[in-house]
Every structure is written in structure tokens, then in C-alpha cells.
Structure 1
């Protein structure tokens, strides 16, 4: 596997009613685990990590575990262009390298709650990281209510506490997909992907615990094959303070 400035893993919501809204998707108010995988169709080390994310997503379905897979673009010149790759995903990974003071970046890198990173294919370590994260209470509770209007999504949010360094992010996530890779390190393989981040939208909170925002939706969006995940991040440390899935209301397809 080639080095390219990175090292592969093998080389190294508006309130619904009263107090019920916060409990709707954060049932026990205990900890949460927010998993961010950095992956690529061009990296031969990545398919096992992608498969593990699918397993974890199924294992922890509808719980306080959130899986996001970001396809980076720095493998795109190594023989195969990942159809889900995005330069913004690469920038986010570099931002984490600065927050965590860990370089070089690599694939498949998994970051849990913005604090600790793991080789994304090492199941035992990753499962231990999830259990550890779930054992600690969340700093912030988020409620998100979503209403689809054509190719836009209107989101009402309510966050119980914020600080000036906090930022709200909304990820549009495609639950699964398959790709027929014809060239590169995974040539002639059909790869399975899970929890693919199709877009990530950031919003300054500036003291606003409640509000409404709008995000664009990808072509083919529907509430069966996609989900919306919101999270609050401390922009000084990179730590994820809380996360939740959006609850859809009427007019959603």
C-alpha cells in the first residue's frame, strides 16, 4: 500500500411536548458514543472497517450510538476515485489531527466522541471504546424536529446548554450503499458501505439554545434510506458534547 501524506492502518430538534422530547431518542440520559470513521474505496485496509460500522449500526440500532462514515479524497489519485469522497471530509480529519495532536492521518481512522482514535477495523478496541463512552454522561442534550420541504429540510432544534465555543452540526447520512470498484487497491471488489455522510452542515449557536435551520438534501433522499444526525462540538477541543437523531414530522417522504 502506498504512502501519500497519510499512513494506512496496516502500515502503522424543536420541542415536541413538555419534557418528553429529550427522552424520545435519549431514553436514559446516560452516555453516548459518537463514531466518526474516515475511510476510502481506494484503501485496501478500509473494507473491514466499513463492515464493522455496519455491524455496530445494527447492534446499537436506535440507541445512543451514532455512526458516521466520512469518505476522504486523498486516495482518489491512487487509481480509483471514491464516488462518496469529499474534500470537506479530508479537512475534518485534518482538523481532528490538530485537536488531538496526532499526525499523520490515516485510513481507516475511527474517532469516538472527538476524543480518542482507533484503527477502524480493530473490533475489540472499538467495542471497548464504545462501552467506555456510554459509561460517561453526555454534556449536552439535543432535540431535533425535521420537516422535509422538497429538496430542503427544515430543522427545529433545542439544546439544553451551550457555550460560546459550541457549534451545531447536522449530518445527512445514507444508511447503506454498494460500489463496484474497478481499479486501485480494491480492484474487482464490490464494497459495502454504511452510514455514509452525504453532507455535513455547521451552524454557529452564539447563545441560541433554540432555533430553526435549513439544509439541502441529496437527490433520492427519503426517510427510509437516510437519517439525520445532529451533534454539538466544542470548537476549542474538538470534543463532541452530545448527539441525537432527528424526529420527522409531516410532509416527509
Structure 2
């Protein structure tokens, strides 16, 4: 994490809150079943933190959207960054890996700083994470754009604390496959910091990222470590193909874990 970016992120909190409040008042069309998507998809990456007082509205927004898009190729990933931890509360879901990913987007998108809450859609557009109208419009437009890459995650096997995943993709040039282990929901009672005394709810929490070099191979098998006490009903996998040069996400999918250990499942 570059120190200048952290400073700007903290200094801009007041402005972020004002902008977020303005955008959440926008009346936008909800993503109902009446809206017919094309052959596209939308990967929504939220950068958030339990130590940021401006973040709960963004967490609530993606939770609302998640409930509306169960029948659509919309994939939500919530990354808890770690640079807020020094200000009084350590976010248990945070990781320097997610802060580094946000900094990579700052480079790809030519941003002067990182901030929370921030949303990036399909690796191409970014905005304040609580801007409801902007998010809904981005999802709607990207669902109408055909995906450039095919991707499937299947033959998932769980054995103890390890999952084995088979992947198949149609595009490999200058791209990497990223697979995220996602906890569907969780709550935290925050004791200190800007959200001290609040109980926060989260959805689609990224707990592990696996970057897979495709190396001109269109299919393969990878292993993921699973947390202690793993319950397959509370977790899922989201995979996407990303251009290494500019960050564009060209294809995505998700897969559920088999309900019975050592069984197989396909997306």
C-alpha cells in the first residue's frame, strides 16, 4: 500500500460520504426478472472495511442487489482491505492481498488514489461503492454486452480441508484465471473505530484468491484450502478471466460446492 494513497483515502472520507448520499437518492430501475439480460455478465468488486464509517451503506447496497440477481450472471465479490486496521479496529476479513488488488486497479484505471467504499465493475469502470444509480446502470449495460471469454468451473470435490476444482476456458491470451472462495454472509459486532458499537452485516466476502496462469492451456485442475468447520452451504466459488495488461474481465461464472463431501457438482 502506497502511503500517499492511504493518506488521500482517509482525507477524502467526508467528500465520499457526501457524494454517496447524493447518489443513493437516485431513483433507478430495479433488476427484476422483467429485465432480460443479454449474453453478458457483471463482476462487481467492492472494496470495503469494517473500520470505515462510509462503508456500511455500500455493503447494504450490494446485499440488496444480490437478492435481486439470483437468476442473472451477476457476481459480487467483497474485499476487505487492511489499511483501515491501524485506526482502531482490525477487520477480521481484511488482507493486504485485497489492498494490493485495489492498488492494481488504481494503476489499471489511472487513479491517483484508492478509497473505500469503492466498486469496480468488470475491471473497466469504478465509482463510489454506495452510488446505487451508477451501480444499477453499470450492471444493466454490461449484461447487454456479450462476454469475450467462456468459463466453467466443474467437477468440484471436497476432501477434508481441501477442494479440487476443474476449470475450462476458451480465452487464454494475456489473461489469468482468478478463483475466489466466497463466504456468503456474516455479521460482526464492531467494538472500536469509526463503526464502534455497531453490528455490521456482510455478503459475498472474499476469503481466498487463487490466481492461475493459463499458459495457453484451456483447462486444468486446481486445489483450494478450506477453512476449519467448512459448511458447503455457506460458501461458493466465483471465477473470472482477467486481462493482465488492462484489468478487463472478459468472462465469469460461479459454482456451488457439493452438499455431500466427496461428491461432485457442476456449475
Normalised by the length of structure 1, the TM-score is 0.89
Take 1:184 and 1:109, find their aligned partners in 2: how far apart are those partners? 20
Q: Which residue is equivalent to 2:131?
A: 122
Task: State whether structure 2 residue 159 is matched by structure 1 residue 149.
Answer: yes
Take 1:141 and 1:222, find their aligned partners in 2: how far apart are those partners? 29
CA contact (8 A) 1:168 1:233 kept: yes
Instruction: For residue 103 of structure 1, report the CA deviation from its aligned partner.
Output: 2.0
Aligned residue pair count: 236
Q: Which residue is equivalent to 1:11?
A: 15
Indicate the RMSD between aligned Cα atoms, in angstroms: 1.8
Greater share of residues in helix: 2
Report the secondary structure of 2:194's partner residue.
helix
Instruction: For residue 62 of structure 1, report the CA deviation from its aligned partner.
Output: 4.2
Take 1:10 and 1:197, find their aligned partners in 2: how far apart are those partners? 27
Quickly say closer, same or farther: Cα 1:111–1:33, change in 2 above 3 A: same
Take 2:232 and 2:142, find their aligned partners in 1: how far apart are those partners? 28
CA contact (8 A) 2:235 2:257 kept: no
Alignment of 1:43-58 (within 5 A): 43-58=52-67
Q: Which residue is equivalent to 1:180?
A: 189
Cα deviations by residue, 1:40-97 (Å, 9 ceiling, x for unpaired)? 0000000000011111111101420000000000000111110101000000000000
Which of residues 58, 74, 89 is equivalent to 1:65?
A: 74
Instruction: For residue 4 of structure 1, report the CA deviation from its aligned partner.
Output: 3.1
**Consecutive aligned runs of 4 or more in structure 1 exceeding 6 Å deviation:** none
Normalised by the length of structure 2, the TM-score is 0.84
Instruction: For residue 6 of structure 1, report the CA deviation from its aligned partner.
Output: 1.6
Task: State whether structure 2 residue 207 is matched by structure 1 residue 198.
Answer: yes
Task: State whether structure 2 residue 171 is matched by structure 1 residue 161.
Answer: yes
Give unmatched runs, 5+ long, in structure 2.
1-5, 17-36
Give unmatched runs, 5+ long, in structure 1.
13-27
Quickly say closer, same or farther: Cα 1:4–1:219, change in 2 above 3 A: farther
